[in-house]
């Protein structure tokens, strides 16, 4: 066998080996590739955080881009965003923040800001169009919490919004996923799925969405859940998205009550975004 043949054989063997590999190097460490991507070597990690601490401010910002409040009863504070023991911990407390106004109005609803909690986003630091977005998460238990893992367009219009994970902890075994889309706030549509699986407060679970130009698909622990969203026109409305991770109190999740244990923690072990290498077809 001449040199050229050997080169060809070696190249073929390398291809076989690389096709069988399901792990990649990230930040000097080997991480498992999520099962939904394993048949396609073109996917690579383009964003990650293992929260080995302190919070990496080249990747994350405190607060919502529009301020410390939203459609819930917690005032968001950087002091309630903690990174320890390899975890991002958003801490909800049963106390009013000294800077919090008594109430806010959002979407016609009035919210009394009696609680303090935390949020981080990648706005202006990491924004992406299409990919496989995943995080390993443990949500708090008890009545009154609404932990979420979601994305918004960087240019600020709404809709669209991709909700990878929303859990109302009064129903700890129910996962809510959503894609909000449409021409305006008043004239929006939602691809909403509500799926009862198992108690998400008991352990860490991986939540993901695979977002391509042709479909959106949601996953829990690498297993597809619900059905796909196929509408290319409205999928194209999402672009340059940033990630939000927040622990809301009250609002859609309902209010805390006497049984609620404080403080409560929403823990994130890691976040990763995978994309196809440039030039690869989605
Ligand atoms: Ca970690």
Distance from the alpha carbon of residue 30 to the mean position of ligand 1, in angstroms: 13
Distance from the alpha carbon of residue 271 to the mean position of ligand 1, in angstroms: 9
Distance from the alpha carbon of residue 124 to the mean position of ligand 1, in angstroms: 23
CA distance 200 to 142: 12
Structural domain span for residue 107: 34-276
Question: Within a domain: residue 72?
Answer: yes
Distance from the alpha carbon of residue 120 to the mean position of ligand 1, in angstroms: 16
Question: Within a domain: residue 17?
Answer: no
107 in the Ramachandran plot: left (φ > 0), alpha (ψ -120 to 50) or beta? left
Number of H helices, E strands in the chain: 2, 21
199 touches 172 (CB < 8 A):
yes
Question: Within a domain: residue 210?
Answer: yes
Distance from the alpha carbon of residue 276 to the mean position of ligand 1, in angstroms: 24
The pLDDT of residue 20:
39
Distance from the alpha carbon of residue 155 to the mean position of ligand 1, in angstroms: 30
Distance from the alpha carbon of residue 228 to the mean position of ligand 1, in angstroms: 29
The pLDDT of residue 14:
42
What does the DSSP assignment read for 104-134? EEETTEEEE--EEE-EEE-TTT--BSSEEEE
149 touches 119 (CB < 8 A):
no
pLDDT 10s per residue in the chain (282 long)? Answer: 454 444 444 444 444 443 334 566 666 566 789 999 998 889 999 999 999 989 999 999 999 999 999 999 999 999 999 999 999 999 999 999 999 999 999 989 999 999 999 999 999 999 999 999 999 999 999 999 999 999 999 998 899 999 999 999 999 999 999 999 999 999 999 999 999 999 999 999 999 999 999 999 999 999 999 999 999 999 999 999 999 999 999 999 999 999 999 999 999 999 999 999 877 666
CA distance 90 to 138: 11
The pLDDT of residue 184:
94
Distance from the alpha carbon of residue 229 to the mean position of ligand 1, in angstroms: 31
Question: Within a domain: residue 6?
Answer: no
φ, ψ for residue 158 (rounded to 5)? -145, 135
Distance from the alpha carbon of residue 15 to the mean position of ligand 1, in angstroms: 31
Distance from the alpha carbon of residue 44 to the mean position of ligand 1, in angstroms: 19
Residue 233: partners with Cβ closer than 8 Å, 6 or more residues away? none
CA distance 83 to 57: 12
Question: Within a domain: residue 149?
Answer: yes
Write the CA distances from 151 to 60, 78, 90, 133, 233, integer angstroms: 13, 20, 17, 10, 18
Distance from the alpha carbon of residue 13 to the mean position of ligand 1, in angstroms: 34
Question: Within a domain: residue 181?
Answer: yes
Distance from the alpha carbon of residue 20 to the mean position of ligand 1, in angstroms: 26
CATH assignment of the domain containing 224: 2.60.120.200
Total number of domains in the chain: 1
Query: Residues with Cβ within 5 Å of ion ligand 1?
Result: 50-51, 86, 269-270
Question: Within a domain: residue 185?
Answer: yes
The pLDDT of residue 156:
86
Distance from the alpha carbon of residue 101 to the mean position of ligand 1, in angstroms: 34
CA distance 121 to 130: 18
The pLDDT of residue 91:
98
CA distance 25 to 48: 11
Question: Within a domain: residue 13?
Answer: no
Sign of CA dihedral 224, 149, 55, 276: positive
CA distance 282 to 143: 41
| CA Rg value for the chain | 20
């Amino acid at each position: 066998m001449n040199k050229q043949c050997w080169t060809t054989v070696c190249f073929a063997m390398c291809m076989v080996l690389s096709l069988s590999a399901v792990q990649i190097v990230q930040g000097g460490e080997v991480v498992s590739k999520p099962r939904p991507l394993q048949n396609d070597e073109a996917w690579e990690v383009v964003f990650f955080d293992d929260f080995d601490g302190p919070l990496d401010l080249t990747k994350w910002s405190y607060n919502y881009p529009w301020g410390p409040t939203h459609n819930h009863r917690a005032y968001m504070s950087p002091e309630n965003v903690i990174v320890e023991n390899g975890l991002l911990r958003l801490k909800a407390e049963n106390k009013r923040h000294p800077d919090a106004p008594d109430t806010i109005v959002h979407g016609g609803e009035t919210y009394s800001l009696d609680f303090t909690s935390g949020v981080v986003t990648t706005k202006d630091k990491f924004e992406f169009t299409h990919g496989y977005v995943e995080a390993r998460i443990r949500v708090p238990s008890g009545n009154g919490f609404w932990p979420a893992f979601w994305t918004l367009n960087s240019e600020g219009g709404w809709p669209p919004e991709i909700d990878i994970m929303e859990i109302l902890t009064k129903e700890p075994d129910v996962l809510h996923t959503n894609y909000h889309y449409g021409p305006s706030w008043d004239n929006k549509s939602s691809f909403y799925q509500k799926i009862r699986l198992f108690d998400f407060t008991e352990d860490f679970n991986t939540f993901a969405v695979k977002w391509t130009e042709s479909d959106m698909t949601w996953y829990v622990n690498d297993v597809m859940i619900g059905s796909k969203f196929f509408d290319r026109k409205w999928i194209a409305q999402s672009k340059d998205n940033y990630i939000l991770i927040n622990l809301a109190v009250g609002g859609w999740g309902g209010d805390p009550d006497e049984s609620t244990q404080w403080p409560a923690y929403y823990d994130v072990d890691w976040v990763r975004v995978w994309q196809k290498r440039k030039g690869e077809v989605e």
